Amino acid sequence: MEDRKLCNLHLALDRAEACPEGACPFWEEGGVALASGCELERLSLDLSRHELAAYLLELRGQLEDARDLEERRQARRAFVELVPPDMSGR
């Protein structure tokens, strides 16, 4: 049986929880030339800052619980504000 990778957000808060991979709003599905993976890992965010890890987990919950497209857009905008402009395409 293959071991699943642990979620970096939970690890930053001293908890061990399996990465939800494709079920996570921060997961990017790969294409022909790109591998699937966690957007947060790609961004190399400093998750040793516990308040940042807690905020991102809260934001992930908002994205998962969004009842409609507008709620999802609002939560996604909050995430994009954390991403440096040169990496977000802004």
Residue 56 C-beta-side C-alpha neighbours within 13 Å: 28
Average pLDDT of the chain is 82
Q: Please give the DSSP secondary-structure letter assigned to residue 54.
A: H
Query: Residue 30 sits in which domain range?
Result: 8-83
pLDDT at 56: 92
Between helix 50-65 and helix 69-80 the angle, nearest 10°, is: 160
- Is residue 54 included in any domain, yes or no? yes
63 in a domain, yes or no? Answer: yes
**What is the pLDDT at residue 36?**
80
Quick check: is 75 in a domain?
Answer: yes
Specify the pTM.
0.72
Question: Side-chain half-sphere of 31: how many Cα atoms within 13 Å?
Answer: 1
Residue 89, domain member (yes or no): no
Number of domains within the chain: 1
Name the more confident of 35 and 8. 8
AA letter at 77: R
Q: DSSP readout, 69-84? A: HHHHHHHHHHHHTTS-
Task: Scan for tokens 């190399």, then name that residue.
Answer: 44
pLDDT digits (tens, 9 = 90+) for 38-80: 888 888 888 888 999 999 999 899 888 888 888 878 877 877 7
Residue 38 lies in a domain: yes
Confidence of residue 89 (pLDDT cuts 50, 70, 90): very low
Query: d(Cα 6, Cα 9) in Å, to the nearest integer?
Result: 9
In a domain, 1, yes or no: no
